Structure 1
Amino acid sequence: MVPHLITALTGPINELEQRILDSMPAIERWFRLEWMEHTPPFYSSVDIRNAGFKLAPVDTNLFPGGWNHLTDEMLPLAVQAAMAAIEKICPEARNLLIIPENHSGNTFHLANIAQLVRIFNMAGLHVRVGSVSPDLKKATITELPGGDKVVLEPVVRTRHRLGLKHFDPCTILLNNDLSAGAPGILEELYEQYLLPPLHAGWSVRRKSRHFQCYEDVAKRFGKMLGIDPWLINPLFTRAEGVDFEADAGLEGLRAAVDATLTKVRRKYKEYGINEKPFVLVKPDNGTHGLGIMTVRDVRELDGLSRKARHSLALTQDGQAVHDVIVQEGVLTRERVHQAVAEPVVYMMDRYVVGGFYRMHAERGDDENLNAPGAAFVPLAFERSHHLPQPGARPGASAPNRFYMYGVVARLAMLAASYELEATDPQAEVYD
């Protein structure tokens, strides 16, 4: 099953897919050379939107949840990628400690943790799950609906190491995005590998920095492929000092929204696209689809209700929003069971390992789908999820479509590697 595009405006994307398929050897060599110079994030997931006339990543997660949505058929790829990733970092690794989110009662998150435990067990590691929540005082067993169970244990900190009682890991895998900041117990671990690093968390990370890195990557990739980078790159700008509750900083936000909508209108006119442009206002730091608003006209920012202002003012863990990213909205023209859908691609090390469609029956094609009520359908990897079929008509072949998604997702992953290099507190700074 290839979710169908419901638009006649598939020309540019079909042309892009054909260009990508024809250029596959050059693309793979380009990535290979990039990975000789840069280190990929340990794992990542990328939300992609396919408008028919434009294909672009709209969010990149460096602490991806949702691994439980990957099917059993995808696990061998994930296990092989996990082996390669661990071998590069700590070849003699025996024990791995996974740190989940602090909300230990969330069975959806724990099902994702159970899948990660399964993947790294099959990669040859002893895996246990340790919580940094000060509320967890003893080992807790949670039975999950699918029959799995997760044993959550309180972490034990010694001078430079973190572990569990009678368990000393070489490597610690964070599946906690640190929205509320990095707890001190995770700092100064000089004798262990912490993956991803603390500066990948939302206490340091900014979406605007990521998409600036992505813009640079898209320009270089577009030049290599001979395409307009806009076809794979969402325009964006940043607005600072916004306080939705106090109605402060909204003039700057209005100016940012107006400028971005104007740029998008120009591109739509250039390509003869008969759609109404829109932008998404998102917290510059934060995840889980919170605090996001779709804006089609700058006047929509006038007279926001108190409820709307409150929902925009806070993000994960109750963190206040002060800086926002105004991002070009990319329609999604894909449908699964008549519901609006978008692909989410999962990667470990530099490899695409699987993914799924996030679908939402109650949302429109210009809205954020990462919201309560979303459902998940595995990507239809009929044979191989990223080996294309030369000669197949563009848009007709699942492997070809998913290879294209994998290319765009890897561009976002490469941008994340640039981003982490730029924010690494251990990196030397040169004038």
Structure 2
Amino acid sequence: MLQFLQNITNPAAYPWPGDIIELKHCDFTSFQLSHFQDAYFVPLVTSWSSLNVTYSAKEELVGQILEMYAMDQRWCDYYNMQYYERTAPTMIQPKNLRGQLAVVIVAYKDIQQLTELVDALYLPEHVYCIIHLDRHVTPQFQQQVQQLAETYAPYVHVLQFGTILYQTDTITRINLQILRWMTIEWELPYDFVVLLDGAAMPLVSATELLERLLERPKDTATAEHVSPYQQVWLGAMTHRGKTVQSDQTGFLKRRRVLLTSNNPPYHVRLPRAWAAHVEIPEFIEEAMQHKTHSGNVGIYSHHVIHKLLHSAKVMELLAYSKYSCCCCVEERNWIAALTMIGYQEQALQVPGSMFQLWGGETTCQGSMKNAVLERNESLCYRMEDPYFQTTSQQPHYVQGDELWDELVLARQRGYLFARKFSSDSVASVQLMNEIKEYLWDSD
């Protein structure tokens, strides 16, 4: 591997075969191998000897470490970050049509649930759907999703270009790629983009969803507006019942190096001591103070996405977060990014877009697991909605037999989606059918 590094004369132009490695915007003229070896190679020696990887995977690992090092040394111009080119999908673009939504769904299994979600959002000429498939999904699932796209053609388009590792924040990077293609390269005429995973389900019909998003906000004086609509649907959260309002940049130092071309994907967690010397830029520390629902299940206006994509500070923040701890950092980096472009207040508004619970176990022990929603009285769920925050700042729990009342309340308060649902659970499928029958268009 060291010989491979030494033979590279221009790393910035090397065509890395990895999923999302960006080097073309980095200046390696001051690169010194000795510094690179000391800072990054030594912690990986013991793990590397046990890996059974292809030569291309080794190249990918080198590329990712180089990117991390260049990012640490501040050699990268994030404003000029380049992306892979994609062919624009065929899309019907009717003129003078009020309201178009672009839906991006990250999916890797459960075709039945994914089909329910796509069908629930299907609104010809108003809703356009992009499904991202993990590179390592089974051939059967890939074929099923392609058949699903053909059923709803031309309103459903499938992309398969990257691997998702849930121990990292690769979902944000994949969504960022898709958003750039949609907004800048393809110039799709959407008003809002809805980011989801395949386990979600709307609490309103597709028609009502569009109407809700196009409603004029009650107070247009609290944020910058270029249109009369709300710009962000995200929503603040607590952490085990406590409000989060402190420096959250420690999550950016929990670093992992990825091997995404390997099957199964492999990742190496770097020791905490490795990042002890890393200084997070002050503008990131100032912005990264809050916790929300995952930004990868949020709703954003075209104007907000355009501002995010053209902000060098946002690109730098998301470059740091790519290799960081997921299941935590995407609840912090999106609100930080929105803070940088002036949308913190809207992004923290409760309710947000997604109703979600944690635990779903027989005891109320506060599991951090994303719960499958079931009307099962033996299950206990934890809520992180500040609406239920107690004076003692302890977690708020509900039993499964109270779940329907909570969903009704969530819809009344303005939540648009709920997760997670699974076709493997008969009770979860039944609950989803009840939502469609009794909650949709119920006002």
Structures share fold, TM-score greater than 0.5 = no
**Whose RCO is larger (CA < 8 A, sep 6+)?**
1
| TM-score tier (shorter) | under 0.3
Q: Counting strand residues as a fraction of each chain, which structure ranks higher? A: 1
